[in-house]
Amino acid sequence: MTTQFLIDQQTLQDLQLRDRTGRNLLDFFDQAITEGGQEFLRYIFYTPLTDKDAIMDRQTKIHRLAPVVQEDFPFFRVILKDLEKYVNASHSGRMASLTFLDFIGVRSPIYYYRKRSIIEACEFLINSVHFYKKVNALKVYPDMEEMIALSEECLRKFFKNKTPDADKLRVNIFNIEYYDRLIRYDLAANMRKIIRFFYEIDAYLAVAKVAHQHEFCYPELFQKNETGQINMQGVYHIFHRKPVKNDLTIYQNKKLWFLTGANMAGKSSIIKSIATALYLTHIGFPVPADGLKTDILDGLFTSINLQDNLELGYSHFYVEAIRLKEIIDQLRPDSNALIILDELFKGTNHSDASHAILEVMDKLAKLDGPYVIVSSHITELSEKLKDCPLVDFRKMVIDNDENGMPIFTYKITEGIAEEKLGMWLLKNSGVFESIESLRKEG
């Protein structure tokens, strides 16, 4: 029995997986041409899995389309929408008789609608068979083979065992009722199945095109807790125009990361890169990395972009505390979910935050499963955290130029950050000059 992947709305928003007001990750992949393809893409994007075989099946359905991403894809959004509507329109199964108006050449709008739909149905079947055979050229996929056979069976009934050619299909008053009944009654169930399959191809092809364009990798997966690690090579965030790639490994026996770095050093970017790559992995998508190997995780939770709750009178610190409780309450006892806590307890003073982080990490270390990344600017905590054998220390690297000015590399490495750049950033922003200028004007 497949176990549901654990994730919540806050995490989806933090990672821009579901952001209705701005850019979101789904839009990056959404190159589907049909509404049905877009709907299916949306479904798989928001259905992360914990079953290895199911995830690998999605990977295969995307990856097999890589050889044809630059092939002609002769299908059109409006035509497929109209065709689906036409096929789904009810038909009694009875053949209508010709009328006097038919013989004197008077044609109703419904006649031309049916004629166009019949021809478009034939063109769709011919084009889809041709495209599927290109996919199957190097390797035969059973579902593709089944759909080719089903489509060709439909075409045989259209063309009565002659070579299918939509240009040679002669639809007139004497046979239009036959073709209409054939599509909307005799072959209706098969046509619906063929159209649904095409929508899946449309969605998977959209993902394959993005993967090809950006040279994404397909993750290697292992069963839950099989290797006890998450390994990423050259991982980066999709939204970065000039991404900096990072290599990293999170081990089960060092499952608590304490990530430090100065402001603007890239802590938030790296944790979002990690979380996004793992989410894409669990929906079967290719990821922005050179390579990724991971055990199947059973969930992903973040606490990144939290806001004070003025209606309930909650301070930012209390909102952080409530968020942490929400995450823990969703976990199962044997969970190996990844929990990301960005700048934990920044809503209180330095002393309270230090004590609270120590307590939380100490208690999280006693849980059996979850991986945890806590990012913080309170580097002084590192000395006390060294007493916990499960804590691994990571920092964002900052170099200096020949004048001693900081260079943000956005690279992650082992260790504890020592840089204090708050005052430098404040001075560099020009705020002191603005205050001085305002004082002089006064």
Average pLDDT, the chain: 88
- The answer, yes or no, to whether residue 49 has pLDDT greater than 70, is yes
Q: State the average pLDDT over residues 226-231.
A: 96
pTM of the prediction?
Answer: 0.90
The two structure tokens encoding residue 248? 């990293």
Q: Are 370 and 400 in contact (CB under 8 A)?
A: no
Return the higher-pLDDT residue of 428 and 338. 338
User: What strand order describes the sheet that includes 371-376?
Assistant: 300-303, 338-341, 371-376, 256-260, 391-400, 406-414
pLDDT at 163: 85
- The answer, yes or no, to whether residue 426 has pLDDT greater than 60, is no
Chain-centroid distance of CA 94 in Å reads 47
- The answer, yes or no, to whether residue 51 has pLDDT greater than 50, is yes
Least confident window among 12-21, 146-155, 212-221? 12-21
Alpha carbons 159 and 80: distance in angstroms, whole number: 21
Q: State the average pLDDT over residues 425-439.
A: 66
Least confident window among 136-145, 376-385, 415-424? 415-424
Instruction: State percent of the chain over pLDDT 70.
Output: 88
Least confident window among 186-190, 245-249, 420-424, 437-441? 420-424
Q: State the average pLDDT over residues 284-300.
A: 97
Alpha carbons 416 and 17: distance in angstroms, whole number: 31
**pLDDT, tens digit (0-9, with 9 covering 90-100), for 53-77:** 999 999 999 999 999 999 999 899 9
- The answer, yes or no, to whether residue 102 has pLDDT greater than 80, is no
Least confident window among 197-201, 310-314, 401-405, 414-418? 310-314
- The answer, yes or no, to whether residue 98 has pLDDT greater than 90, is no
pLDDT at 1: 40
pLDDT at 104: 52
Least confident window among 124-128, 249-253, 347-351? 347-351
Separation in Å, CA 164 to CA 138, 154, 326: 24, 10, 59
- The answer, yes or no, to whether residue 3 has pLDDT greater than 80, is no
**pLDDT, tens digit (0-9, with 9 covering 90-100), for 396-425:** 998 887 777 788 899 999 999 886 666 555
Least confident window among 208-212, 333-337, 410-414, 438-442? 438-442
Alpha carbons 359 and 12: distance in angstroms, whole number: 27
Q: Which long-range contacts (CB under 8 A, 24 or more apart) does 347-355 make?
A: 347/308, 347/315, 347/316, 347/317, 347/318, 347/319, 347/320, 348/315, 348/316, 348/317, 350/378, 352/317, 353/378, 354/378, 354/380, 354/381
pLDDT at 99: 57
pLDDT at 442: 56
Return the higher-pLDDT residue of 168 and 11. 11
pLDDT at 259: 95
Nearest to 406 by CA among 391, 417, 392: 417
Instruction: State percent of the chain over pLDDT 90.
Output: 60
**pLDDT, tens digit (0-9, with 9 covering 90-100), for 336-377:** 999 999 988 887 778 888 888 999 998 888 888 899 999 988
Provide the pLDDT confidence category of residue 235 given band limits of 50, 70 and 90: very high
Alpha carbons 5 and 133: distance in angstroms, whole number: 35
Q: State the average pLDDT over residues 260-267.
A: 84
Domains with residue ranges and CATH for the chain: 31-214 (1.10.1420), 220-441 (3.40.50.300)
- The answer, yes or no, to whether residue 9 has pLDDT greater than 90, is yes
